[in-house]
């Protein structure tokens, strides 16, 4: 399919080509099985590491490519085009975990954790949400109590992507009261008192493992505090802008995957003596899908460029994923409709695209929260 040239540059075009080739060869053939079995193919991680995908935003001195957020969005898009589930786990690893350590870790923490995360030998995760603290993340209950040269953590986290496979986790816990009473910790899976709780069976994004984390007198060395004690909310909120920009690439990948299926289908499927793509109603459907995809691309790419220039705004990061997430759901529904009865069976992947697309109306801050943030920022202080 020919598409609009967004003039991203030769280097990023190369990232797209190499990632798309890898995704088509190694990820796409597994996508249906990943979904059907809720299976995370762990062996993909070192292979993705060899391509440099895990450290795409990390400076070269720490073993990364130093290419920034626009490159990361494009890589995210191509991985998710092959499998949104792997795309979600990839984003949680490379952005939520690796990029946060890159941005906030000290030199010793970067040297200790980044090499194996970037190579794919280790899987990374971020733990923010709890059963009673989702959008209202500051109400988290996981408690970290300082005792001599360590902190002791007690409580749980919920809805944690990559939890069951993670070797290193960026975890937010309460060390005091209010928004200045939250601290960021680097947790290793083998720390005593740390365990995986119930695994969550999701409607979509199956194969991207999601689970509960349980901390029972879990001892964490004080040197595993990332940033300063009490700085957790600032670290968390600053990372959300980049998280939203990068994860919006998943929705772009889903929309492209929908067109990858629908366009050949409408050319080949015949009714009333001609291909269904010859009917104006079907052509209008295809046009709407294409416009939804490229309007999302334009906004997301612009926000990613702003991230690279240090000029992003919180409301535009929220706006980009808001547009991409809602468009992806619409495009996936249209893809099912375009295939008719076939689209409502598991013989075709569009029903999977539909289930996968819905997650990012909810994850990384719900669309309701995004709208609230955008409106509040644009209106400004009142009274």
Active site residues: 243
Six token digits for residue 163: 């939890």
Strand stretches in the chain, DSSP E: 124-127, 143-147, 150-161, 168-174, 182-188, 194-199, 210-221, 225-226, 270-271, 274-275
Q: Give the whole-angstrom CA distance, residue 208 versus residue 317.
A: 24
The CA-atom distances, in angstroms, between 67 and each of 81, 98, 106, 334 are 21, 14, 21, 35
Residue 193: CB atoms within 10 A of its CB come to 14
For the chain, the C-alpha Rg in angstroms (whole number) is 21
Asked whether 67 and 35 are in contact (CB, 8 A), the reply is: no
Q: Give the whole-angstrom CA distance, residue 147 versus residue 206.
A: 40
**What phi-psi label fits residue 38: left (phi over 0), alpha (psi between -120 and 50 degrees) or beta?**
left
Q: Which helix (H) or strand (E) holds 24?
A: none
Angle between helices 84-91 and 69-82 (to 10 degrees): 150
Q: Give the whole-angstrom CA distance, residue 243 versus residue 321.
A: 10
Please give the angle made by the CA atoms of 12, 15 and 20, to the nearest 5 degrees: 130
Strand stretches in 180-303, DSSP E: 182-188, 194-199, 210-221, 225-226, 270-271, 274-275
Collapsed DSSP state (helix, strand, coil) of residue 159: strand
Residues facing residue 220 across a β-bridge: 151
Check residue 93 and report its DSSP letter.
I
Residues facing residue 215 across a β-bridge: 155, 194
Six token digits for residue 263: 């366009």
């Amino acid at each position: 399919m020919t598409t609009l040239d967004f003039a991203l540059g030769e280097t990023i075009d190369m990232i797209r080509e190499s990632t798309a080739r890898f995704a088509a060869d190694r990820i796409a053939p597994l996508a249906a099985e990943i979904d059907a079995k809720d299976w995370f193919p762990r062996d993909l991680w070192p292979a993705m590491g060899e391509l440099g995908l895990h450290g795409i935003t990390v400076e070269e001195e720490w073993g990364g490519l130093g290419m920034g957020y626009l490159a990361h969005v494009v890589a995210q898009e191509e991985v998710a085009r092959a499998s949104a589930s792997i795309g979600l786990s990839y984003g949680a690893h490379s952005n939520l975990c690796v990029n946060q350590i890159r941005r906030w870790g000290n030199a010793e923490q970067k040297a200790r954790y980044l090499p194996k995360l970037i190579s794919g030998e280790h899987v990374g995760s971020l733990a923010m949400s709890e059963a009673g603290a989702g959008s209202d993340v500051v109400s988290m209950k996981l408690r970290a109590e300082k005792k001599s040269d360590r902190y002791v953590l007690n409580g749980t986290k919920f809805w944690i992507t990559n939890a069951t496979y993670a070797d290193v986790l960026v975890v937010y816990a309460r060390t005091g009261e209010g928004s200045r009473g939250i601290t960021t910790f680097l947790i290793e899976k083998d720390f005593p008192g740390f365990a995986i709780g119930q695994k969550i069976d999701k409607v979509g994004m199956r194969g991207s493992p999601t689970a509960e984390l349980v901390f029972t007198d879990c001892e964490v060395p004080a040197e595993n505090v990332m940033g300063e004690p009490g700085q957790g909310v600032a670290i968390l909120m600053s990372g959300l802008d980049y998280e939203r920009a990068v994860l919006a690439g998943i929705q772009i990948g889903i929309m492209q995957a929908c067109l990858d299926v629908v366009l050949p289908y409408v050319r080949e499927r015949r009714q009333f003596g001609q291909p269904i793509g010859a009917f104006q109603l079907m052509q209008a459907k295809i046009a709407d899908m294409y416009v939804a995809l490229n309007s999302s691309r334009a906004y997301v790419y612009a926000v990613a460029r702003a991230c690279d220039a240090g000029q992003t705004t919180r409301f535009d990061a929220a706006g980009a994923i808001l547009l991409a997430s809602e468009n992806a759901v619409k495009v996936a529904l249209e893809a099912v409709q375009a295939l008719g009865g076939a689209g409502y069976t598991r013989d075709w992947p569009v029903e999977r695209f539909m289930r996968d697309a819905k997650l990012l109306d909810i994850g990384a801050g719900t669309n309701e929260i995004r709208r609230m943030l955008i409106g509040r920022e644009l209106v400004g202080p009142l009274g």
